[in-house]
């Protein structure tokens, strides 16, 4: 963002386990303040986003949105998709670079990998939201 848009934005990440020495704690990097966008590689059930939202709220900051590389388009904790649950619960946009449906299409038609496409389709039949 700094190079392309002239915006030098702070960032942080959370450890899976708190550290009791050095920087310590769960959050590494800039303090969570103001409006925070969560960036993640994938959203499945939405639990990691909900965890991040709690960390952000506990720090006194506000969740502004979520960006993920891949939306697995799975059900969340209820009948809604994980993305819909996050949007409904937190009132923020969730933007995915790609969805699993696009991945299946790419596997089938660009890579001619019907085996993996079929395996993903079978998995989605059990856990998919859409």
Q: What is the pLDDT of residue 52?
A: 95
Q: What is the pLDDT of residue 20?
A: 59
| Active-site residue identified among 19, 51, 90, 112 | 19
Contact 55, 32 (CB under 8 A): yes
| Active-site residue identified among 16, 21, 101, 105 | 21
Reply yes or no on whether 19 is catalytic: yes
Question: What is the per-residue pLDDT across 12-29, written as a single tens digit (0 to 9) for each?
Answer: 998 776 655 555 568 899
Question: What is the per-residue pLDDT across 51-103, written as a single tens digit (0 to 9) for each?
Answer: 999 999 999 999 999 999 999 999 999 889 999 999 999 999 999 999 999 99
Distances (CA, A) of 102 to 40, 68, 70, 110: 18, 14, 10, 11
Reply yes or no on whether 90 is catalytic: no
Beta bridge partners of 75: 81
Residue 117 has pLDDT above 70, yes or no: yes
Domains in the chain, start-ordered, CATH in brackets? Answer: 1-31 (no CATH), 32-127 (3.40.50.2020)
List the structure tokens of 95: 């933007």
């Amino acid at each position: 963002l700094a190079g392309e848009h002239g915006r030098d934005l702070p960032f942080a990440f959370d450890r899976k386990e708190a550290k009791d020495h050095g920087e310590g704690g769960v959050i590494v990097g800039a303090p969570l303040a103001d409006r925070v966008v969560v960036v993640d590689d994938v959203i499945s059930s939405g639990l990691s986003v909900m965890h991040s939202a709690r960390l952000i709220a506990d720090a006194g900051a506000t969740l502004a949105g979520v960006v993920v590389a891949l939306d697995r388009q799975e059900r969340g904790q209820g009948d809604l998709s994980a993305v819909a649950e996050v949007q409904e619960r937190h009132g923020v946009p969730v933007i995915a670079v790609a969805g699993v449906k696009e991945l299946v299409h790419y596997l089938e038609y660009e890579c001619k990998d019907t085996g993996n496409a079929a395996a993903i389709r079978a998995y989605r039949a059990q856990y998919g939201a859409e």
